[in-house]
């Protein structure tokens, strides 16, 4: 017997619905594959999509996939029972990403390298299982951090795209949480007692990342300017809709 899906807060559902409409993310008969890390953001998005699937006039199918990068401390085993109990297909892949990174990574942050590797694996799963849309769980805070990193270190005005096609052109990639704050997903995950995978990327805590620095910087600036993130969203909107280039 399938477990009943949890209902996310209405404000978050409205923001996700607006993002889906603004960027034409979900179309009739789409088959969506959610990249499920087990963190608060992807688990929250799982329940958002389950809710939308039950309420939306646009019919779509949903599955989830987890890439286990074989990092000490990462244990997604709870997802193997939790996700199928919600009544959707679940795909689990173990890949020695960390070991491979240590041998071959050159001129890139570990997080960027790991993200590219996982994305490639998810593309392969989507193709094999006949999904046409890959769903990622980055939120507004992630986009703002990428925006600053690109400006400060790359000399370019760029951020993550809300909706784009992959380089091969055979899959669409969407980010329904682009209008949602991280604190919203954290609050829902906590109140709903979601089975969040503790330290869902432990390597990020052992390897220094620029992203952590800019997260802290934005947190300090928001204390001084409560309209910081709405302002950043306005500034980033044209960048979220431009033709895709390499992601930050």
190 found inside a domain = yes
CATH number at residue 192: 3.40.50.620
DSSP letters of 190-225? HHTT--PPTTSSTHHHHS--HHHHHHHHHHHHHHH-
246 found inside a domain = no
pLDDT computed for residue 15 by the predictor = 98
133 found inside a domain = yes
pLDDT computed for residue 1 by the predictor = 56
pLDDT computed for residue 109 by the predictor = 61
Task: Count structural domains, the chain.
Answer: 1
Which domain does 198 fall in, by range? Answer: 10-239
Q: What is the pLDDT of residues 142-160, one digit of tens each?
A: 999 999 999 999 999 999 9
248 found inside a domain = no
pLDDT computed for residue 204 by the predictor = 54
3 found inside a domain = no
Please report, in angstroms and rounded to a whole number, the separation of the first and last CA atoms in the chain. Answer: 41
pLDDT computed for residue 205 by the predictor = 45
CA neighbor of 6 nearest in space, from 63, 57, 45: 45
69 found inside a domain = yes
User: Please, are residues 76 and 48 in contact by the beta-carbon 8 Å criterion?
Assistant: no
pLDDT computed for residue 36 by the predictor = 97
90-94: strand order across its sheet = 90-94, 61-68, 31-35, 133-135, 172-174, 163-165
pLDDT computed for residue 246 by the predictor = 43
Regions in the chain scoring below 50 on pLDDT: 205, 207-208, 245-248
150 found inside a domain = yes
């Amino acid at each position: 017997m399938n477990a009943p899906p949890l209902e996310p807060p209405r404000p978050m559902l409205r923001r996700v619905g607006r993002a889906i409409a603004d960027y034409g993310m979900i179309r009739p008969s789409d088959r969506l594959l959610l990249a499920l890390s087990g963190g608060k953001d992807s688990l929250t998005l799982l329940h958002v999509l389950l809710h939308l699937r039950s309420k939306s006039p646009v019919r779509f199918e949903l599955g989830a996939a987890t890439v286990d990068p074989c990092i000490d401390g990462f244990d997604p085993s709870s997802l193997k029972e939790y996700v199928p109990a919600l009544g959707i297909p679940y795909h689990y892949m173990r890949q020695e990403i960390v070991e491979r990174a240590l041998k071959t990574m050159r001129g890139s942050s570990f997080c960027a390298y790991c993200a590219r590797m996982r994305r490639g694996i998810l593309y392969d799963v989507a193709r094999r299982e006949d999904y046409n849309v890959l769903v990622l769980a980055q939120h507004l805070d992630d986009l703002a951090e990428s925006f600053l990193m690109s400006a400060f270190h790359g000399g370019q005005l760029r951020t993550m795209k809300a909706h784009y096609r992959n380089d091969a052109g055979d899959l669409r990639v969407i980010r329904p949480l682009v209008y949602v704050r991280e604190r919203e997903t954290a609050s829902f995950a906590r109140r709903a007692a979601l089975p969040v995978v503790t330290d869902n990327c432990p390597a990020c805590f052992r390897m220094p990342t620029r992203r952590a620095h800019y997260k802290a910087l934005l947190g300090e600036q928001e204390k001084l300017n409560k309209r910081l993130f709405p302002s950043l969203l306005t500034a980033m909107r044209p960048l979220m809709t431009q033709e895709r280039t390499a992601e930050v």
